[in-house]
Structure 1
Amino acid sequence: MKNLVWGLLYLVLFYSCKKESGCGYNEQNIVAPVSEQQLVKEYLTSINVYAAAKDSSGFYYEVINDGDGDSPNLCSQIELSYSGKLTSGTVFEQKSTAFTLGSSIEGLRKGIPIIKKGGHIKLYIPPTLAYGSREIKDDAGKVIIPANSILVFDIRLTSFY
């Protein structure tokens, strides 16, 4: 009986502490290494951006427009327009799209909820919160995002539900 009580107590504590969103996407506690955070900061200085805020996970951001209402969560189906570029200035993608926020890279999962519907934000994401040491290739096999790249996103959150 004593073991049953301890077992139930463990289950209650374990499951109450688990941050699951209810849609299958879990909150991650990934933090970029200090060295990557420093590289992002140096990049921002090189382009004369001094007002960007730093998130505790290590990405930097500039809110251009907060937007109105609520912010999306990991389960939200978001609609946005964005451009993604490398620090060299090379644009690797620019489009309007919709997807479930929880299915994206960590920097977007943490950065997009800073704004609300109609909001506009710039995110400066270190490799650990993006694709890390993986190369991302297009359909023809050409590398469009080299491994260990800092990514820069300019995002307008159109809608979410």
Structure 2
Amino acid sequence: MRYITLLLLTIVISSCSTYSDQELSAFDEKIKAHLDSLNKKMEKTENGLYYAIKDTGHGSEFISYKDQVTFTYKGSFLNGNTFQVIGKEDPLVYKVKQLIVGWQDALMMIKEGGKIEIIIPPQLGYATQKTDIIPANSILKYELEVLKVE
């Protein structure tokens, strides 16, 4: 499972995809419709990441781009189907700069011990890359928890 995740992260970092304004708007409308259907409110960043901070975490320092983080997550699609769960018994450890843009942006909003729920449009995630578990152009939901920051 860790190797699949590492492969996915490597593909994303090396991939480059550009979307039209119309495509970006369509992704955003899908996310808004999803949130409306759940009667759920989330904040939105300028680049299109939707987020809800559940726990900012502790300490005085927010996570930075150069930090290494140990974290867990649950990943799912907008339809609610879970595609991957990384638990506390086997967390991931990565430098923030090695992760998909949506995760980078989200992690830098919290501190060690923080929890955040995010919805990542394709341009901030896996874009046009297709994997064994994630179709191309997927909008993804994650619940991230940071266990340790170094």
Q: TM-score range by the shorter chain?
A: 0.7 to 0.9
Q: Which residue of 2 aligns with 1:18?
A: none
Q: Deviations over 1:96-125 (max 9, x none)?
A: 211111111110011111111111100011
Which of the residues 38, 57, 60 maps onto 2:50? 60
Indicate which of 97, 106, 114 corresponds to 1:119: 114
Deviation at residue 132 of structure 1 after TM alignment: 1.0
> 1:18-97 alignment to 2 at 5 Å?
33-50=24-41, 52-69=42-59, 70-95=61-86, 96-97=91-92
How far is 1:35 from its partner?
A: 2.6
Provide the TM-score with structure 1 as the length reference. 0.73
Deviations 1:119-153 (A, max 9, x none): 1100011011101111112xxxxxx1111111000
User: How many residues matched?
Assistant: 126
Q: CA deviation at 1:38?
A: 2.1
Take 1:34 and 1:119, find their aligned partners in 2: how far apart are those partners? Answer: 30
* CA RMSD of superposed structures (Å): 1.9
TM-score (norm 2): 0.78
Instruction: Say which structure, 1 or 2, has more relative contact order (CA 8 Å, 6+ apart).
Output: 2
Pick from 140, 143, 148 the counterpart of residue 154 of structure 1. Answer: 143
In 1, Cα distance between the equivalents of 2:142 and 2:148? 17
Cα drift, residue 75 of structure 1: 1.4
Structure 1, unpaired ranges of 5+: 1-24, 138-143
Identity of aligned residues (%): 28
Residue type of the alignment partner of 1:54 = K
The alpha carbon displacement at 1:34 in A equals: 2.7
The reply on whether 1:102 has 2:97 as its aligned counterpart is: yes
- Distance in 1, matches of 2:127 and 2:37, equals 22
Instruction: Say whether the 8 Å CA contact 1:71–1:116 is kept in structure 2.
Output: yes
Runs of 4+ in 1 over 4 A off after TM superposition: none
Structure 2: tracts of 5 or more residues without a match: 1-12
